[in-house]
Structure formats: structure tokens, C-alpha cells
Amino acid sequence: MSTSGGDRDTALVRGLKILTRIAETGETNAKELAADLELPLSTTYRYLKTLRDFDLVEEFDGRYLPSSRLSSWSGHNPTRSHLLEVGHPFLRRLSARTGRTSVLAVREGRNAVCLRQFAPDEDADIAFRTYEVLPLDRGAGQRVLLAHAPSQIIAEVVAESEEPRERLLSALQAIRQDGCAHSRSQLRAGATALAMPVIVRGEVLCSLTLAGHTERFGANTVRTLTPILAEAVEQLRDELEESC
């Protein structure tokens, strides 16, 4: 049905545009949405409230993300939906404790996906976007997922990687032996990361990563953060075992 304004969007279309934009970006705020969609800020907030009331988006500190309810509709398994639900509060607490960016990533085929992330302001320039697709062969969190992927996935990713085959295979073996990965400027210039797998009932469900600018993430910091990250992995694993 057309509106009296001819080409003007209906309320439903405006709401769907906002929801689609949030799903596409993974994480955004009201001002960015209003500017992108050429809507008044007050109108944007009104639609966001409705979407929140229907549990279609979540809001954390003024940032809007797709909700776990959308994930369940898209056919994701209950564990993935639970990760979406608990991810942001969990990562926010971890970042508050460590002062570093916290990331939950999962494997989707031959790529990794940033499922949830929380970044302090000083790390905004190196942080991933929620739902950003990432290469499995670069970055600590992604390599943790690759190291525990099926052998066929490992073979395909290694074959396409720019890193020499033997060096990458050796790095993956070390990750499996050590239970963690450490990277420096592999995916983001000037970024250092420390990551571990979250294993539930023998299956790696996701990687948990702490990251930050290299100048404040030296060897001493890695040693300090390693037991903290290991404790966080255990906490997340215990929660997933109880609820999934």
C-alpha cells in the first residue's frame, strides 16, 4: 500500500531498514543509524525501543546489536544462541578486569566470525566489528579455531594461506600442545592478542581472546594475563556445560 507521500517509507519499512542495518554492521549506535538511513534521531530511538521491546536487538552502553532471538530464528544451535546472549556481559566484565579488548569468535566453514566483542576506547582502532568475518590463519583467536578444526579444513586453509605451509602447520601444532595462541600484528597492525579455546564435551565451541595495542601488551603482560584468561575460559565453559 502506498503512502500519501508517494516514495516515503512506511513505518514497517523504516523499522526493517533499521533492523537490517544493525544485522549488517553487527554493532552500531543511534546516531550512526540515523545518519546512514537519513532519519531524525528521535525517530530512530523510537524504532530502536520497539525493536528492543520485541527482543530483536540488544543495547549495551548505547551500542545496538542483533539479539540472540534472531540467532535462534536463523537456525543456530542453542549453544550458539546462548553465547550470543551471555557474550557481551561476560566480555565486558573480562575487559573491566584486564583493561584489554575481549573477543568471542566462532568458526564458520573456512572463516572465523567475531560473535561478540568488547573494546575499551583506547583499542577502538584495532577492535573487530561484531559479526566481522575473519581469516582463520591470522590472529590468535582465529588460529585457535583453526588448530582444532577438522583436518580437511586445516588442509584447505593452509593451502591458501600466504604463510609458508610448514611454519603454519608447526604453529597450529604448538597451539594444540600449549592450549593457547599468541599473535602480534598478524591481522591488525600494532595489535597483540592472546587466545584460548573454549572446549565443552570435547568440542571447541569458540575462542576467547584478549587483545590490545602492542606497546601495552608485552611479554610481562602476556604472562600476567594468561592465568586470568584461563580462569575466564573455565568460567565460560562451566556456564555452557550447565545451560547447553
* Cβ neighbours of 150 (radius 10 Å): 9
Residue of higher predicted confidence among 158 and 54:
158
pTM for the structure as a whole = 0.73
Mean pLDDT over 171-191 rounds to: 94
CA distances from 99 to 13, 62, 95, 147, 206 (A): 40, 20, 5, 27, 21
3-state secondary structure of 44: helix
pLDDT attached to residue 2: 39
pLDDT attached to residue 230: 97
CA distance 189 to 154: 25
Kind and range of the H or E run holding 108: strand 101-108
What percent of the chain has a predicted confidence (pLDDT) above 70?
A: 89
Segment among 81-95, 148-162, 174-188, 194-208 with least mean pLDDT: 81-95
CA distance 142 to 145: 5
User: Does 244 have pLDDT greater than 70?
Assistant: no
CA distances from 115 to 71, 81, 191, 221 (A): 11, 10, 19, 25
- Chain segment 48-103, per-residue pLDDT in tens: 998 888 878 888 778 887 775 665 544 455 566 677 777 888 999 999 999 999 99
Which residue, chain included where needed, has cell 565443552?
200
User: N- to C-terminal Cα distance for the chain?
Assistant: 44
Which residue in 231, 228, 209, 198 sits closest to 83, CA to CA?
Answer: 198
Residue of higher predicted confidence among 73 and 201:
201
pLDDT attached to residue 170: 97
Give the amino acid at 155. Answer: A
DSSP state, 122?
A: G
Give yes or no for a contact between 166 and 178, defined as CB atoms under 8 angstroms apart. Answer: no
Which residue in 216, 215, 213 sits closest to 123, CA to CA?
Answer: 213
Give the amino acid at 64. Answer: Y
pLDDT attached to residue 166: 96
Sheet holding 28-29, edge to edge: 28-29, 63-66, 57-60
User: Does 220 have pLDDT greater than 70?
Assistant: yes
Give the amino acid at 12. Answer: L
User: Does 6 have pLDDT greater than 90?
Assistant: no
CA distance 210 to 202: 23
User: Does 3 have pLDDT greater than 70?
Assistant: no
Residue of higher predicted confidence among 45 and 86:
45
Q: Could you give all domains of the chain from N- to C-terminal order, each with its CATH number? A: 11-66 (1.10.10.10), 75-243 (3.30.450.40)
pLDDT attached to residue 1: 37
